[in-house]
Structure 1
Amino acid sequence: MALTLAQLAAELGAELRGDGEAEISGLGTLRSATPAQLAFLANPRYRPYLEQTRAGAVLCTAEQAEACPVATLVVADPYLAFAKVSRHFDTTPEAPREIHPRAVIAPDAVIEDNVSIGPNAVIGAGARLRAGVVVMANAVVGEGVELGEQVRLYPNVTIYHGVVIGPRTIIHAGSVIGADGFGYAFSSGRWSKVAQVGAVKIGADVEIGANVTIDRGAIEDTVIGNGVILDDQVHLGHNVVVGDHTAMAGKVGVSGSSRIGSYCMIGGAVGIAGHLDICDKVVVLGMTLVSKSITEPGTYGSALPADRHDRWRRNTARFRHLDELYRRVRKLEQDARRD
């Protein structure tokens, strides 16, 4: 589709600097965009590319617009504006609003209007699919599952029994929701499995990436709040609670019974130990190990950044003497006080 700059400015409430009749038919970066595409500048690292861009127009702030050689849509938050515009150019295919003849549906499952169910999908006994739900090929919806309006399950998603998913939630391919939590008791040289009798409850407008695993609760439910976004390969253990609008990047692992507040941002490959509490509005930097509760909002991190190999080896060798150095300094301080 094509939109004029005047139309985009009106939709975004942006100040247009340029020809309002010029049309945009796609999206691009500052470096690659053609005159028919819209680009944006949000990260200061890309500021050097602004003056050479060939884009049809650029979303940017008023200060940045002064140096832009093409038309601009001036907004306070260019990335947010870009997110809104991107929906016009979404290439996701429309799911056919039909039930494929090779789908397997339990006789007592409730299927509301305008639902799409793909080939080889399985809908278990007592499941309820609200209006507008999309279940793609090979997805499995277990017994007693409830899918809210316009939930979308991509191929090969597996939803175990008793899971409840709120409206407009999206779950990408290969994710497993409601598998047994990692609960075992050890005695007499062997492990005894603890039955996981809770479920998983997911709120509205959640987006879950590919190959995510969310375990069911051991006793109470695992709970994911409204507006949460989970990147690929995130793992949430049993009885984890995630507050509204929290975001987790790829490969985050959260151990059982930890509670994460609302509006948190958890970086890639962060590990969070079990039975911890993380308050609202916490940012955890990538590769950090969280081993105790966080009670104050702010930014936390513990991972060592990459360094030249020779310097990293020297610093690692010195780190081994840290305790010895501490004791020597401590003794010198004590001796100085006695003197």
Structure 2
Amino acid sequence: MFRLDELVHRLGGELIGDGALQVARVATLDQAGEGDLAFLANRKYLARLAQCRASAVIVAPDARGLTALPRIVTADPYVYFARVAQLFNPPVLPAAGVHPAACVEAAVPASASVAAGATIAAGASIGENVVIGPGCHIGRNVVIGDDTGLEAGVCIYHDCVLGARCLVHAGVVIGADGFGFARERDGSWVKIPQSGRVVIGDDVEIGANTTIDRGALDDTVIGDGVKLDNQIQIAHNVRIGAHTAVAGCVGIAGSTVIGARCMIGGQAGIIGHLHIVDDVVISAGTLVTKSIHRAGVYTANLPVQPHADWVRNFAHLRHLDALTDRLRALEQRLDKASSAD
């Protein structure tokens, strides 16, 4: 449990009310009860604040007078909530040491933890306080930075680099071959060796079952602070700038360069060899087929609608070229009639 004044001392903000009040967890406005610290991050939920049964709340400055509950006033309640949640839920780290059922062919510092069934190939460099979960495979000459954690079943192929303080969830594959083939005239395929690496910066989180392919010649690069959701495919030679966030089921084709601080919605698709500048937001389900040269929000999908309406609207789209030709012909006739007058 934490006192409110202790939270403010650690995290900042303005305290209004009893600083000695203790809270045990953070909760939503709807679910919070006695001993909970709730938060109001969006004014559209303002009506719920009046019925909130939390012991205290986190609010923005413009909501400081809208409740009598003890409160912490901060510029960004959602970020503040995230930091409080980290205090209430510290990571549980396994004991340091190498499990007898692990197969280790490289030096491992005494502070690291290697679980049963993990394999570490020769030449790998493992940092201090690294956690390698059950069944992980660390290929030859892989580099893993300090304080990085790998959940169960992570596979990192040879020569790849993973920075410090990263978190890699179960089933992630880093450094598999990119999809590179040359086609013979008879239709058969010739494999192009993928000789690049995957280089991942510091403070990166990679969601479960995401795959990041190694470069064909140059490296695939993931910048510092990037956050990747579950089941994302990142192809060879892709570069993603610092602090970009990518939601689940996104596919990014080869040699695309994505800038810093971008946000890519779930199930978006980005074709290869494009360039996307910094501070771009791509809406969920959008297919990006050309480079984006200006920051902003981009959307290329249709909103959901009843099936009958979709069929009717699509039927109109099928005849759009014919309608355009008829409109152009009508305009020409009107122009001739106007000239005759």
Question: Shared fold (TM-score greater than 0.5)?
Answer: yes
1:26-175 matched pairs, under 5 angstroms = 26-90=25-89, 92-106=91-105, 109-175=106-172
**Larger deviation, residues 301-310 vs 189-198:** 301-310
1:89 offset after TM fit, Å? 1.4
Aligned counterpart for 2:192 among listed residues 174, 191, 194: 194
CA–CA distance in structure 1, aligned partners of residues 3 and 141 of structure 2: 48
Unaligned runs of 5+ in 1: none
RMSD over equivalenced CA pairs, Å: 1.3
What amino acid does structure 2 have at the position aligned with 1:5? L
Letter in 1 for 2:126: L
Contact 2:37 2:54 (8 Å CA) reproduced = yes
Q: Deviations over 1:34-83 (max 9, x none)?
A: 12111111123322211111111111112223222422111110011111
Letter in 2 for 1:234: I
* Number of equivalent positions: 336
Partners of 1:247 and 1:234 lie apart in 2 by: 11
Per-residue CA distance 1:94-139 (angstroms, 9 max, x = gap):
2211111111001xx1212410100110001110101111101111
- Structure 2 equivalent of residue 12 of structure 1: 11
Give the counterpart of 2:291 among 293, 310, 314. Answer: 293
Offset from partner CA, 1:231-286 (integer Å, 9 cap, x none): 00111000000111111000110000111011111110110000111111111000
Q: Map residues 141-290 of structure 1 onto 2, 5 A cutoff.
A: 141-187=138-184, 188-290=186-288
Q: Report the Cα distance in structure 1 between the residues aligned to 2:44 and 2:324, rounded to whole angstroms.
A: 40
Paired residue type of 1:8: L
Question: SS of the residue aligned with 1:335?
Answer: helix
Take 2:150 and 2:250, find their aligned partners in 1: how far apart are those partners?
Answer: 22
Letter in 1 for 2:168: I
Cα distance between partner residues in 2 of 1:35 and 1:168: 35
**For the residues of structure 2 that align with 1:332 and 1:159, how far apart are their CA atoms?**
64
Query: Please, what TM-score do these two structures have when normalized by structure 1?
Result: 0.96
- Which of structure 1's runs of 4+ aligned residues deviate more than 4 A? none
SS of residue paired to 1:110: coil
Partner secondary structure for residue 147 of structure 2: coil
**SS at 1:111 equivalent:** coil
CA distance in 2, matches of 1:71, 1:308: 47
After alignment, is 69-78 or 241-250 more displaced?
69-78
Which AA in structure 2 matches 1:123? Answer: I
- Contact 1:51–1:69 (Cα < 8 Å) also in 2: no
Distance in 1 separating the partners of 2:181 and 2:236 = 12
Aligned to 1:312, the other structure's residue is in SS state: helix
Q: CA deviation at 1:17?
A: 1.8
AA matched with 1:48:
A
Q: Distance in 2 between matches of 1:309 and 1:72?
A: 48
- Once residues 82 and 305 of structure 1 are traced to their aligned partners in structure 2, the CA distance between those partners, rounded to angstroms, is 32
What one-letter code is carried by the residue in structure 2 that aligns with 1:3? Answer: F
CA distance in 1, matches of 2:60, 2:11: 13
C-alpha deviations, 1:284-336, integer Å up to 9, x for none? 00000000111111110101111233322322222222222222223333333
TM-score w.r.t. the length of structure 2 is: 0.95
Pick closer, same or farther for the CA change 1:18–1:309 going to 2, 3 Å.
farther
Higher deviation after alignment, 2-11 or 128-137 = 2-11
Instruction: Tell me which amino acid in the other structure corresponds to 1:207.
Output: E
Q: Percent identity?
A: 46
CA spacing shift, 1:120–1:331, aligned 2, 3 Å: same
Question: Deviation string for 1:182-240 (max 9, x for gaps)?
Answer: 01111123111111111100001111111000000011110001110000011100000
